[in-house]
Structure 1
């Protein structure tokens, strides 16, 4: 992912702004998704292997986050202006794995690797019980210059994916973690799940 936009489609994954911040700072390596309420299929699907990360501000609440991240979300929400005319995108991600989770036991093994409370993570698992919770392991790169886009109506709402302008001209990007750091952290997550290392 070094300094290339090859195969980077004009599509963004919406995720809580506090999670995007943690991903961009290298503190978080994964997201847990089941699809948004406004999703056309109501199921989560990985629409592209590489994509932009769009911060979302709806539904963020400190009590749904572990203690170290509660102040961060408060600071983000204090700066957020409802009805803002623009949205800033500062990172892209590559999904290096999409692991389906069906049970609480597996989810509990990830407790040390994400920012959400145990209760909230379990609620995500239980929502639409017949559908798996998708664990996306992400390699994140920070754009050298953030993109500022007009906030369109189609970006609003509880959805996983949004389409961006086709003529989007993104600057270069640098991985937030070195290859060694990234592989080490990913191996820790896979090890907790009893999966073999792929590095």
Structure 2
């Protein structure tokens, strides 16, 4: 088992929920509006999943998962003073997507609509869309953190307080080895056709 660095990747809470439930093993990234480097980079191959709530859009989520946005809002601190981190991830593979045909091939592997995926690909058109294949682990003890100014804004990565994250305890994989490998191979096959 690994110990994640005290860095977290920000992602919509509904996508984080899908990853935590094994409904998907991928995350599509282009980078936040205020990225220091102007494009997305994998800063760490192990990281916590930091759920975000403000910009989730139901119309960009497949019909079968739209109600899950409401489910994510149940435990959201709407005052914006705290956030609860419940999972971490390890990057197994990073794939660059540059065309719509590849987006069509991976449509069954995420909860976003085709329009959402196309929008991600089109934004910053000269930059590839990063498809991160993630092995996700649940924290035995989810950690509730105060939201500090450094966590705010449209950026991908935030540095968490290491001493607070040490309370997370052991990790347990969302999918067992066989389940994960099966899904990873299915994804590879889809991209190869």
Q: TM-score, normalised by structure 2?
A: 0.95
Query: Does residue 12 of structure 1 match 2:8?
Result: yes
Selected match of 1:130 from 104, 112, 126: 126
Distance 2:76 2:176 in 1: 31
Match of 1:73 in 2: 69
Write the deviation string for residues 120-176 of structure 1: whole angstroms up to 9, x where unpaired: 110000001100000000000000110111111111111110011133313110001
Distance 1:119 1:84 in 2: 29
Counterparts in 2 of 1:176 and 1:79: CA distance versus 1, 3 Å: closer
Match of 2:186 in 1: 188
Task: Give the ranges of 4+ consecutive aligned residues of structure 1 lying more than 6 Å apart after TM superposition.
Answer: none
Match of 2:150 in 1: 154
Give the number of aligned pairs: 191
Aligned pairs for 1:4-83 within 5 A = 4-5=2-3, 8-77=4-73, 79-83=75-79
Match of 1:107 in 2: 103
The answer to whether the 8 A contact 1:110-1:192 is kept is yes
Q: TM-score, normalised by structure 1?
A: 0.92
Gaps of 5+ in 2: none
Bigger helix fraction: 2
Match of 1:143 in 2: 139
Gaps of 5+ in 1: none
The answer to whether the 8 A contact 1:16-1:55 is kept is yes
- How far off is 1:79 after superposition? 4.6
Counterparts in 2 of 1:79 and 1:92: CA distance versus 1, 3 Å: closer
- How far off is 1:84 after superposition? 2.7
Write the deviation string for residues 17-50 of structure 1: whole angstroms up to 9, x where unpaired: 0011110111110000000012111200000110
